[in-house]
A and B are shown apart, each in its own frame.
Chain A
């Protein structure tokens, strides 16, 4: 007992030491080790004390109560699974491109703001959200977020939650696809590798379905090996004067390619493409994240980015807007992600063996995701700031050549020479890295520096393309699974208008709904690719806002569960993060729509474009398109805000009714059944 207390004390002191060093070292480079130490120390203390408080006092987890996995065991989705294995499963499902890209973009404010939000945001908000939703779903036979919203606060809230999820999906898919486009444009190596993933996945699909039914592991092993072969082969393609032109495409062409791919993947049988890709990207994801963690621990890179940059005033080139609120929506997934509420009320609650495991999976899994975000931040902050801004600023700001870019960046107070820019591009096997906004390329450069430092110098180009392949692979997997999920949701909504449209096996309905979903995100994708400022500028904040607003919906549902479950005195555990997330997101949404600065506000940008057309500085047809897009983005942002506010109001009404005893405080949990498991 004493030894364990001592260990927790050491963890706490280590975290405190990490924060101390971060606080005192200003204006010098600092080693990433301190950042990692501060984060991990904080996670351990939060897990030991806060998550235990949530588990025992607030939720009252009870190991005598049989879980859905025990009561409803069916050997398929309801399967009692040991807590360590389930942790891996849950983590693989929540980790994605979000926690990798967001922190890289937010590094324009310096490494400190991002670190603070990632660590304290997860401890007090993100992990609490995942935990409360997992808890609620576990007590309700694994029901989804939408079903819980419907049962506890009424059918309208349920419907609004569903519409919100669908809309977020559309924006999410567009912005993630845009990240891939920016990473692959004019990059024959990257395009070749990614194209290879399609036949490899189809091969795996036939292997698992036709040739050796159910042999998923051997097929995946073969798939991963073929993928690595394609990665090495990409270099020869890129260096060959004959082959390279066949794989060199502009951003717009790649965008249309991804749109076509998304449609085909959504209507094809699942076993052929989607399922094998899912396995492939899961293994690549877990492998790469472990590799990155190991690399950072071996290399312990110094962080060259300042703790705080001058861009906290809102003049940053990567995206517009001040530190508050934009740091908090740019980093969505690593600190709090509404999307996790869908996973936490999906497969995971059906696999818990005992209730107390929910603490390890729900709270602990999210801490792990936050750690991935910290690693991504380290990978971005270890680059020279000059290099970081050369990769992430829009091409229109930098000018076309390395010389012009170096000059612009010098104007921001960071030194970088044109020779550095061209030699780095050559090192990673690309013609240029300028203006590859979206986070993936600069993360890949950072990862290449770490991994080649840890596992072999001179393999820089291979590691860079390995990182690009890994990001593009699982982003495209999100695009095809997301399109499919969006299609199901749309069909379910449409089925309420006309029943045949709701039948997911009816082919015309499938084609129609798939086309509608693909057209939705495809429109925003093309808008982003043709946007003179690179698109990430407008789309990433829109995604951040939508994801955080979904988090608000999840926190509302969580609060309702607590209040109806008779735990109103503890409702602050979800109410406090709800208030913060709402304040951040509504401020950001308002600024994105109405700010006077045309770099920030959609409407003032539309007005600026109108003036440019009037003065003859802008082609009228192109200008009209830009204006339409600005207004569309404004409407989308306002619609997100409106839907969220409606959910908040409906929930608040319910809370007040329960608290004033006009409605009984009865949560619709499944009845208590005593577990048959021993101990």
Chain B
């Protein structure tokens, strides 16, 4: 699979970019963050992460404009 590695990195970058722009949760990025900064904590499942993200995003303040 090695020859495709750069392609996968690019694909991941494109998907992350689209998610960030649309304000979507990015599970992979969160796992990276946890592994780097808090290796002692258990990793949440994708479903747990998604639920928490959506709850936090819409629980205060406007996220968009008129």
Contact = CB atoms under 8 A, between A and B. Distances in A.
B49 to A, nearest CB: 7
23 contacts: A89-B20, A93-B65, A95-B65, A96-B64, A96-B65, A97-B66, A98-B65, A98-B66, A209-B51, A217-B18, A217-B19, A270-B54, A271-B54, A274-B58, A275-B54, A275-B57, A275-B58, A278-B23, A279-B22, A286-B21, A333-B66, A337-B66, A343-B64
A442 to B, nearest CB: 19
A446 B16 CA distance: 35
A213 to B, nearest CB: 4
Interface string B46-59: 11011111111111
Interface of A: 73-77, 79, 81, 85-86, 88-89, 92-98, 144, 172, 176, 208-209, 213-214, 216-217, 220, 270-271, 274-275, 278-279, 282-283, 286, 333, 337, 339-340, 342-343, 346-347, 351, 477-478, 481-482, 484-485, 488, 504, 547
Contact of A504 (B17, B30, B59): B59
A547 B62 CA distance: 15
Contact of B24 (A213, A216, A337): A216
A649 to B, nearest CB: 26
A217 B18 CA distance: 8
A340 B64 CA distance: 8
Contacts of B56: 76-77
Given A209-B50, A213-B47, A339 B66 contact: yes
Contact of A172 (B22, B46, B54, B66): B66
B43 to A, nearest CB: 11
Contacts of B47: 209, 213-214
B51 A271 contact: yes
- The SS class assigned to the B binding surface is helix
B61 interface: yes
A478 B66 contact: yes
B30 A270 contact: no
Q: Interface residue tally of chain B, by bracket?
A: 35 or more
A482 B62 contact: yes
B61 to A, nearest CB: 5
B47 to A, nearest CB: 4
A595 B15 CA distance: 55
A279 B20 CA distance: 11
A93 B18 contact: no
Given A485-B61, A547-B66, A79 B29 contact: yes
B61 A75 contact: no
A86 B20 contact: yes
A481 B26 CA distance: 22
Interface in B2-29: 15, 17-27, 29
Contacts of A477: 64
A93 B51 contact: no
Contacts of A88: 17, 20-21
Contacts of A86: 20
Smallest CB-CB A-B distances: 7 pairs: A75-B33, A213-B47, A88-B21, A214-B50, A75-B30, A98-B66, A214-B46
Contacts of A347: 23, 63
Nearest to B29: A75
B51 A481 contact: no
A534 B58 CA distance: 34
A87 to B, nearest CB: 9
Contact of A343 (B25, B29, B65): B65
B60 interface: yes
A469 B59 CA distance: 28
Contacts of A93: 23, 63-65
A333 B66 CA distance: 8
